[in-house]
Amino acid sequence: MPTSPHVVNRRFFLRAAGVSMALPLLESLSTRVLGAGLGVAGKAGAAIGAKRPTRMVCVGNMLGFYQPEFFPKHTGRGYDLPSLLQPLAPHRNDFTLFSGLDHGIKGGHFAIHAYLSGVQQVDAKGMPEGNLTLDQRAAETIGGATRFPALTIGSEDGLHGGCMMSWNRSGTRVPPIPGPRELFQKLFITDSDDDRARSADRFALQGSILDAVNGDAKSLNRRLGKRDQEKLDEYFTSVRDVEKQMELGRRWADVPKPKPGMPEPPNTGFVSDLPVLYDLIALAIQTDSTRIATLEIAGGFEASALGLRKEYHALSHHGQVQENIDGLLKLEKYQMEQFARFIAKLKSIEDGDGKLLDHTMVLFGSGMGNANAHTNTNLPMIFAGGGYKHGEHRAYPAKGAARVPLCNLYLSMLQRFGVESSRFGLSTGTLRGLELA
């Protein structure tokens, strides 16, 4: 009895060489097309040498900083330090403070995910690299040199699911490692013999899934409309990303993980976990487990842990009420204190002919300029380390023909990291005034 043309499974498979791969729902695959029969018979990384590699750490929070206590009144060297910058006073020659930089976008909380890309997800289709973020662009150059090309760390709680800082080339968000316990295990806990044997069995499967179904995929592609061709390309790119990760896992399967020199930490809540996460990031870089890390501080940052009755997001919408501003500043100053502690730690670790901070670019800021007003302009940006000349507050024109995109800083960082590129996101060139020491 023939199947009704209206009874169609919403998914179907490409099959070849014993491999089946489920496809996304494609508009072009009508009942007629399905009925026509598409069934197609179906060591890397090592010790750091004498020349130390460049590293990159990007830290971002979801709600920005209270601008009157973040931005100094004066520029250049010897600028005043508002209260939120006071914890960084011992390190003022190790960082540059920027004002006037942003991505020229709007959207409030719904635009903060563009912090490291300059591109909102809704606009990604029209961009050469989509909304690929700074960290993930740099990670593409790592290959198998480190066990983890990049580490994305942070909580997903709070308004709109967290900061959503890292996005790969296929437009997929990179989910963060949620706490110090999970990060510690990923970095330092070696799989048991049984686990490694099971992994070896998986890696022993010959051939790529995509290679196995390649011919059928090409045949299918000719039958699809333009939108579905783009959707299928994105899907295959995502599968390729997974396969690259599997190949990297194969290379590192028998390489012992480094010894941490500290016990496994518990997860106690993001406020108290924050200094531990910073310590683990420093360890990950020091052991060359990775050279790129991001840390997301989401809106669910527990204000109660600092003795506050209102939550972080509510305090950020302070309405110019002094009690709310005082509570917000307490939260933000704590974040700044932990960042200052991280900078101090990187300065204390020997790394070749210098300190770890000398070889690590550290970005600290937010995709939100003023949470109270829901604006994404004049983003709070601090740039430390990396072998650059620091010690200044540099102000750039925020409007008009002389406006400087934040992505210019990102392009400079990528080139310093070794990425051969002349553009990134909405950049118009590298950032003027940024000089190596």
Position 15 pLDDT exceeds 60: no
- Per the structure, the complete domain to which residue 214 belongs is given by 191-255
Query: Are residue 370 and residue 273 in the same domain, yes or no?
Result: yes
Query: Are residue 237 and residue 183 in the same domain, yes or no?
Result: no
Q: Over the stretch 221-249, which tens digit does the pLDDT of each residue have?
A: 677 777 777 767 766 665 666 566 656 66
Q: Is 18 left (phi over 0), alpha (psi -120 to 50) or beta?
A: left
Query: Are residue 199 and residue 216 in the same domain, yes or no?
Result: yes
Task: Give the integer Cα–Cα distance in Å for 397 and 379.
Answer: 13
Which residue is associated with the tokens 């204190």?
337
pLDDT on residue 228:
77
Query: Are residue 70 and residue 219 in the same domain, yes or no?
Result: no
- DSSP annotation of 365 reads E
Who wins on pLDDT, 12 or 114?
A: 114
Residue 422, in any domain of the structure: no
Q: Going along 245-353, which residue ranges are E strands?
A: 292-297, 350-351
pLDDT on residue 209:
57
Query: Are residue 80 and residue 160 in the same domain, yes or no?
Result: yes
Query: Are residue 142 and residue 233 in the same domain, yes or no?
Result: no
Query: Are residue 184 and residue 236 in the same domain, yes or no?
Result: no
pTM over 0.85: no
Report the run of H or E that residue 327 belongs to, with start and end: helix 322-348
Residue 82, in any domain of the structure: yes
**115, 195, 181: which is closest to 153 by C-alpha?**
181
Residue 11, in any domain of the structure: no
pLDDT on residue 299:
77
Q: What is the mean pLDDT of the chain?
A: 84
Query: Are residue 270 and residue 239 in the same domain, yes or no?
Result: no
Q: Over the stretch 336-354, which tens digit does the pLDDT of each residue have?
A: 999 999 999 999 999 988 9
Query: Are residue 175 and residue 296 in the same domain, yes or no?
Result: yes
pLDDT on residue 400:
86
Query: Are residue 130 and residue 272 in the same domain, yes or no?
Result: yes
CA 117 to chain centre: 9
Position 412 pLDDT exceeds 80: yes
Residue 436, in any domain of the structure: no
Query: Are residue 307 and residue 367 in the same domain, yes or no?
Result: yes
- Mean local confidence (pLDDT), 398-417: 95
From 227, 255, 283, the end of a domain falls on 255
Residue 29, in any domain of the structure: no
